[in-house]
A and B are shown apart, each in its own frame.
Chain A
Amino acid sequence: GQQLNQSPQSMFIQEGEDVSMNCTSSSIFNTWLWYKQEPGEGPVLLIALYKAGELTSNGRLTAQFGITRKDSFLNISASIPSDVGIYFCAGSKDRNSGYALNFGKGTSLLVTP
């Protein structure tokens, strides 16, 4: 599968701070997704982006689909302790690729009270 480069690898922040993470690829994706995974659980979808340039919010989360279709970022505002987890970006291409999701390696977020 296509490699997605996700950064930073980990973040250690204080409650109330804003967080920004991003994901880049050498090839184009038609859909960008952001998932959160907590220990012992499967990934849970946070935000889905379907159009280049699209900016979408879900509560304190905001994500954008890059104009080039090769990148995306996720911002979390006013972080709280329950934001702790691993955040994955995932990209999907098209029918010819079977719509398979290609995941990044994740950004591990730790939030201290």
Chain B
Amino acid sequence: EAGVAQSPRYKIIEKRQSVAFWCNPISGHATLYWYQQILGQGPKLLIQFQNNGVVDDSQLPKDRFSAERLKGVDSTLKIQPAKLEDSAVYLCASSSRGGGTTDTQYFGPGTRLTVL
């Protein structure tokens, strides 16, 4: 079974530029998550989708971050405009069911973003 795919793996941009990350979850997984992991920290949830609907986006900085999962499969996370403090690894995860407490999340390798 193929795992969670993410691209690009690395991205370097200047502040105030825009950037987009792509995630393809494990086939058939209904729930998709985007996490931000700053160096030396644990992952922090940005947004959770179930199919193509948003379940939780309470920690997404909506003035600059946006995410979509239009067909309920792959997803795109965008930052516009980027700030220095957005430098982090952006992890995508997916789970098979409705995101309940027993629903295992499988993580992709992440995209490492550096904002100069």
Contact = CB atoms under 8 A, between A and B. Distances in A.
A72 B4 CA distance: 28
Nearest to B102: A50
Contacts of A48: 102, 104
Given A42-B4, A42-B91, A101 B41 contact: no
A60 interface: no
Interface of B: 4, 40-45, 48, 55-56, 58-59, 91, 93, 99-110
Main secondary structure of the interface of B (DSSP, over half): loop
18 contacts: A31-B101, A42-B91, A42-B93, A42-B108, A42-B109, A48-B102, A48-B104, A50-B101, A88-B42, A88-B43, A92-B101, A94-B101, A98-B48, A99-B48, A99-B103, A100-B45, A103-B41, A105-B42
A98 B53 CA distance: 13
A43 B104 CA distance: 12
Nearest to B54: A98
B56 A100 contact: yes
A30 interface: yes
